[in-house]
Homo-oligomer: A and B are copies of this chain.
Amino acid sequence: MSEPARLPAAARAILRGDRRALARAITAVENGDPAADAILGAIYPRTRGVPIVGLAGPLGVGKSSLINALISLLRASGRTVAVVAVDPSSPFSGGSVLGDRIRFEGRATDTGVFFRSMASRGAVGGVAAATLEAARLLDAAGFDIVLVETVGSGQVDVAIREIATTRVVVLVPHLGDEVQTLKAGLFEIADVFCVNKTDLPGADIAQRNLRDLVVQGRKTEEWATRIVGTSTTQPNGIDALWEAIEAHERYLDASGERARNERQRLSTEIVGLVRDRVGRELAHELEHDPELRGLLDQVIARSLDPRAAARRLRLAVRRTE
């Protein structure tokens, strides 16, 4: 571990809670700016492994309101909270719908809360890795809990699976078709199910149906997915939701699953970093190296198939001991 005096200035600023330095470092991570290397390296030994609570679920189930309610609960008990909104809306132009939406709810003056949206840069692996690094920066900056919200469904929620320590899947009564299509994937990522908008008719039935399905989908002997009903219009069940999340965090420690998950997560992350770098290098060479361009020309001419071309290219990227 380095001496504090030898840390990069940006890392020192983050460790003492400088919000602008923190925001800049997250932007560097998001943009693939190599300046992030030194900062992440310097803060990593200071990370504590705070809970990363992921909230996934379809649009319109009220995840943002739920997050606001959770923030109120946590702030009332003196805990600090960072929210990272993973926004897949535009993998191309880099949208930031969510973060803005949350940010405008008047918490700008509370230094115990930090909002940030992470735009997807076109690769799920990419945004998941960037969000995990952002969570580390937030951890090092002293936040007690990191909440990660995703919009939409399907692949993007994989980001939640990869980085969250506790995964909350939020639904509303009567989602109908949406639930039918999503349920298989959702069951497998949910540690806690939150049936939000329990003031709507049908919430009891929705919870009962979920309970039946959870029995089928239960993941381990030790942890059965919890189901909590919430409402944010007349706040209700928010404390029960947080209690379910904390129960899961305690379970992770008691069962040894936290350590196993962390090992798996780090292995995946490191491999992903190397794989992406190799991919970027190859893409460049395939465009600029005359020999490799010739390979591509053969594929275009249909005289070599893409898999055969990949095998030849693989031989050129051989591991040397």
* Residues of chain A whose beta carbon lies under 8 Å from any beta carbon of chain B: 1, 37, 40-41, 44-45, 47, 59-60, 88-93, 95, 97, 120, 122-125, 151-156, 158, 177-178, 180-185, 188-189, 259, 262-263, 266-279, 281-283, 286-287, 295-296, 299-300, 302-303, 305-310, 313-314, 316-321
Asked if A41 and B154 sit within 8 Å, CB to CB, the answer is: no
A40-B307, A275-B282 are contacts. A122–B158 as well, Cβ < 8 Å?
yes
Known A152-B181, A267-B296, A277-B314; further 9 A-B contacts with Cβ < 8 A: A41-B308, A45-B302, A59-B177, A91-B185, A273-B307, A275-B278, A278-B314, A281-B319, A317-B319
Report the separation of the CA atoms of residues A141 and B281 in the bound assembly, to the nearest whole angstrom. 35
Report the separation of the CA atoms of residues A127 and B59 in the bound assembly, to the nearest whole angstrom. 24
What's the least CB distance linking A51 to chain B, in Å?
17
Which B residue's beta carbon lies closest to that of A34?
B307
Pairs A–B under 8 Å by Cβ, sample size 6 = A88-B153, A89-B184, A93-B185, A125-B125, A154-B156, A267-B286
Report the separation of the CA atoms of residues A204 and B30 in the bound assembly, to the nearest whole angstrom. 40
Asked if A274 and B317 sit within 8 Å, CB to CB, the answer is: yes
Asked if A287 and B307 sit within 8 Å, CB to CB, the answer is: no
| 5 residue pairs, one from A and one from B, having the closest CB atoms | A90-B184, A273-B310, A88-B154, A275-B279, A44-B305
Taken together, the copies of this chain in the complex come to 2
Which B residue's beta carbon lies closest to that of A291?
B321
Tell me which residues across on chain B come within 8 A of A123, comparing CB atoms. Answer: 124-125
Asked if B283 and A279 sit within 8 Å, CB to CB, the answer is: no
Report the separation of the CA atoms of residues A150 and B156 in the bound assembly, to the nearest whole angstrom. 14
Q: Chain A's interface: helix, strand, loop or mixed, by majority?
A: helix
A44-B306, A178-B59, A184-B93 are contacts. A299–B283 as well, Cβ < 8 Å?
no
* Most chain B CB within a 10 A radius of its CB, from A155, A278, A321: A155
What's the least CB distance linking A113 to chain B, in Å?
23
Which B residue's beta carbon lies closest to that of A127?
B155
Tell me which residues across on chain B come within 8 A of A60, comparing CB atoms. Answer: 177-178
Q: Which of B124, B181, B316 contacts A319 (CB 8 A)?
A: B316
Report the separation of the CA atoms of residues A320 and B185 in the bound assembly, to the nearest whole angstrom. 41
What's the least CB distance linking A163 to chain B, in Å?
12
Which B residue's beta carbon lies closest to that of A284?
B271
What's the least CB distance linking A35 to chain B, in Å?
12
Asked if A274 and B282 sit within 8 Å, CB to CB, the answer is: yes
Report the separation of the CA atoms of residues A37 and B278 in the bound assembly, to the nearest whole angstrom. 23
